Amino acid sequence: MAGTEPAPTGLSHFVGLIRASIPPMHPGGRPIVAGVGAAALLARALTGRGTVLGVAATAAVAAFFREPVRVTPDRPGAIVSPADGLVAIVDECPPPAELGLPPAPLPRVSVFLSVLDVHVQRIPLDARVERVVYRPGKFLSADLDKASEDNERSSMLLRGADGQQVGVVQIAGLLARRIVCQVSEGAEVAAGETYGLIRFGSRVDTYLPAGTRVLVAPGQRTIGGETVLADPTCSEPAS
């Protein structure tokens, strides 16, 4: 029949499955992956050895910077996790001063990212970016509570369509030496879209509106852009 595309062959179908299963890489990781690959090639040229180790190292670094496709829940008003990882802390804490919020404690969810987790960060709700502030600091282990105060960080304040304000703070960890934030003040952003990256072990804190009931608990794993941290319109019990 005219206009009908031929069915994929077994080989092309297999190749398509492989491509679909390998997530794309965040652009921020490409220079590092290229550097590791170049170093591996140089070592192979100088010594004639290390091919397997070089390929493995390059592949591991490429996997670290993966940016998998995520599907944000169709749940208006929900605040989704900005990061993959382990919920380390659920408490109430004054937000960082640079966010410009009142100093009263707000519900906070801290997600710790190990070197095995996806390290891109995602917008937690449809919103307008009101503030983005970078602050240099130390490189303490990200799973320590004082890392929120002392470590290098990039803080972002969002205002949703209903006026609710949510703060998201990227915090460098013991191995992290670079925080990437790709949004600017005044930008209109959508829930689930990628906005930043932290290289190697790190942490992301989300400050929720006062009185918000958190729907996750310490020890739970989150999926960035998909796991619902809170929903002001929801009546279901907390985890």
Give, for all 239 residues of the chain, the pLDDT tens digit.
455 555 556 666 555 555 555 666 666 667 776 777 787 777 777 787 777 777 776 766 666 676 788 889 988 889 999 999 999 999 999 999 999 999 999 999 999 988 788 888 999 999 999 999 998 866 555 555 655 666 788 999 999 988 999 999 998 866 555 788 889 999 999 999 999 888 766 889 999 999 999 999 999 999 999 999 998 776 555 44
Determine whether 114 is an active site residue.
Answer: no
Q: What is the DSSP string of 183-205?
A: --TT-EE-TT-EEEEE-SSEEEE
30: CB partners within 8 A, 6+ apart: 65
What is the spatial distance between Cα 122 and Cα 127, in angstroms, rounded to a whole number?
Answer: 12
- Count of other CB atoms within 10 angstroms of residue 152: 22
Residue with structure tokens 């490429």? 62
Catalytic residue among 81, 154, 155, 202: 202
> Do the beta carbons of residue 151 and residue 171 sit within 8 Å?
yes
pTM of the model: 0.77
Report helix, strand or coil for 13: helix
What is the spatial distance between Cα 22 and Cα 187, in angstroms, rounded to a whole number?
Answer: 30
Is 3.30.870 the CATH number for 79-230?
no
All structural domains of the chain with their residue ranges = 12-64, 79-230
